[in-house]
Structure 1
Amino acid sequence: MCELTVTAALLGPLLDSAPAAPSITYYDDATGERIEVSAVTLANWAAKTGNLLRDELGAGPASRVAVLLPAHWQTAAVLFGLWWIGAEALMGGGADHDGADVALCTADRIDEADAAVGAGEIAALSLDPFGRPVADLPVGITDYATAVRVHGDQIVPERGPGPALNGRSVDDVLAAAARAAATAGLQPGDRVLSTADWATADDVIGRLLAVYAVGGSLVQVAHPDAAALDRRRAMEKVTRTLE
């Protein structure tokens, strides 16, 4: 029997109902960056990431993937990609990443990634809005921006996913996301603004997955300029704010 992945459960309804609508809009107030990603574009990036993990980095439903990345639209693509192949995301730091098979990280966290995976695979993300690679990347580390673009944007989802997030099953993660959405008072279709990071498994559930659990969309702001937030709420038609 085919089991549902986190990605299929949360992105699937959005792809069916509003594939071209904004799914995540990312701002970085330190750089002036703004990127709007539709549900179908996020799913395509997730598929490309899943194919990279599966075909090039050897990941699958028994794999544990350390995610050493900030709250960013590409991080969302990484998470949904690894869940599409049934792998387990490891969020947090230190012991939370022990025994990881693969790590995805920013350049400043390569040492952490190396400690997490030992002889395992590491892919580094520049998070550059124009897709530029990481500069001066050490030998043996995959550059995500370069590698992911050659992979297909369609994927065969894993039929028997393993644990999804820091030891929690797919069902546990989906139930936790629904509870988090209810606790935050999120409603179907909400446009949600957040300036919070996704450092832990609970952060990912409460600040990312809860939004998708109600079919909402996310406005994620890095390095927020407090003076600009009210204007942004109005411009982006924000209906809820997550702290």
Structure 2
Amino acid sequence: MPTSVDNLTDALLGPVLAADPAGPRVTYYDDATGERIELSASTLANWAAKTANMVRDEFALEPGGKVVVLLPAHWQSVAVLLGVWWAGGEVVLSPDADAELAFVTADRLDDVADIPEVAALSLDAFGKGLSDLPLGVTDYATSIRVHGDQFRSNGAGYALEGRDVAATVAAATAAATARGVTSSDRVLSSLPWDSAEELIDGLLAVLAGGASLVQVAHPDAEAIARRVGTEKITTQF
């Protein structure tokens, strides 16, 4: 289990990077499209670093700045969240007029019309960007490519909807303990991450426990049943 540090990404991802940087950490399925992608802790760290560099250099967000994240439970959402936290941002999961930056899917742009900086994600499996975005909205898939994949983390006062780093780590660790999640587990889940509590239970608890996550969108019952064996699942949420 992680210990409290000044940065949430360091607290959750750091121990995993030290213990098993190359093993599968997040595997994402979409049963509606057949998409499957698997990322190691090192690959997640690279994506998170690119996002953190974007947050700092392209959007000039200072540590402590508030960032709206309106994204589904998706592997790219993990990269965005870890990147925002690495840059010292506070994540909020609903529209907030006090936010300085938002990461959203294209269908949520109206929800963040009053936020100064917005990055839109296509969530395309092949990295295809979005076209015909409103003036001033950044296409994440295109812009992320130019940013470096190394980042030195920044501290922050708050991490997740008013919770500081220590409180968020404690909540994630408690959720992992309650579910019996350990570093030997391979967790299968279709839980949403739409609220702080859901995000803690469905994602952060897995990271806090040092486990590996298999996240499934639009789950198909027959495919899920087969996947328990093929993905060597040990526990399901």
Secondary structure of 2:29's match? strand
**Corresponding position of 2:40:** 38
**Corresponding position of 2:146:** 150
**Once the 2 structures are TM-superposed, how far is the Cα of residue 4 of structure 1 from its aligned partner?**
2.8
Q: Deviations over 1:183-203 (max 9, x none)?
A: 112123211010111000111
Q: Does 1:195 align with 2:190?
A: yes
Contact 1:68/1:113, CA 8 A, preserved across alignment: no
**Corresponding position of 2:68:** 66
128, 131, 149: which is aligned to 2:127? 131
* Distance in 2 (alpha carbons) for counterparts of 1:203 and 1:219: 16
Q: Which runs of 5+ in 2 are unaligned?
A: none
* Distance in 2 (alpha carbons) for counterparts of 1:215 and 1:238: 15
Contact 1:104/1:113, CA 8 A, preserved across alignment: no
Q: Which runs of 5+ in 1 are unaligned?
A: none
* Distance in 1 (alpha carbons) for counterparts of 2:40 and 2:183: 17
* Distance in 1 (alpha carbons) for counterparts of 2:62 and 2:210: 27
163, 180, 185: which is aligned to 2:180? 185
**Corresponding position of 1:231:** 226
* Distance in 1 (alpha carbons) for counterparts of 2:19 and 2:47: 19
Q: Which amino acid aligns with 1:90?
A: V
Secondary structure of 2:130's match? coil
**Once the 2 structures are TM-superposed, how far is the Cα of residue 72 of structure 1 from its aligned partner?**
0.3
**Once the 2 structures are TM-superposed, how far is the Cα of residue 135 of structure 1 from its aligned partner?**
2.3
TM-score, scaled to structure 1: 0.93
Secondary structure of 1:149's match? helix
* Distance in 1 (alpha carbons) for counterparts of 2:64 and 2:17: 27
Identity of aligned pairs, percent? 55
Q: Which amino acid aligns with 1:75?
A: S
**Ranges of 4+ aligned residues in structure 1 off by more than 3 Å:** none
* Distance in 2 (alpha carbons) for counterparts of 1:4 and 1:232: 37
**Corresponding position of 2:109:** 110
* Distance in 1 (alpha carbons) for counterparts of 2:84 and 2:20: 23
Q: Counterparts of 1:200-219 in structure 2 under 5 Å? A: 200-219=195-214
TM-score, scaled to structure 2: 0.96
**Once the 2 structures are TM-superposed, how far is the Cα of residue 127 of structure 1 from its aligned partner?**
0.5
* Distance in 2 (alpha carbons) for counterparts of 1:188 and 1:13: 10
**Once the 2 structures are TM-superposed, how far is the Cα of residue 122 of structure 1 from its aligned partner?**
0.2
**Corresponding position of 1:22:** 24
* Distance in 2 (alpha carbons) for counterparts of 1:221 and 1:165: 24
168, 178, 182: which is aligned to 2:163? 168
**Once the 2 structures are TM-superposed, how far is the Cα of residue 61 of structure 1 from its aligned partner?**
1.2
**Once the 2 structures are TM-superposed, how far is the Cα of residue 129 of structure 1 from its aligned partner?**
1.1
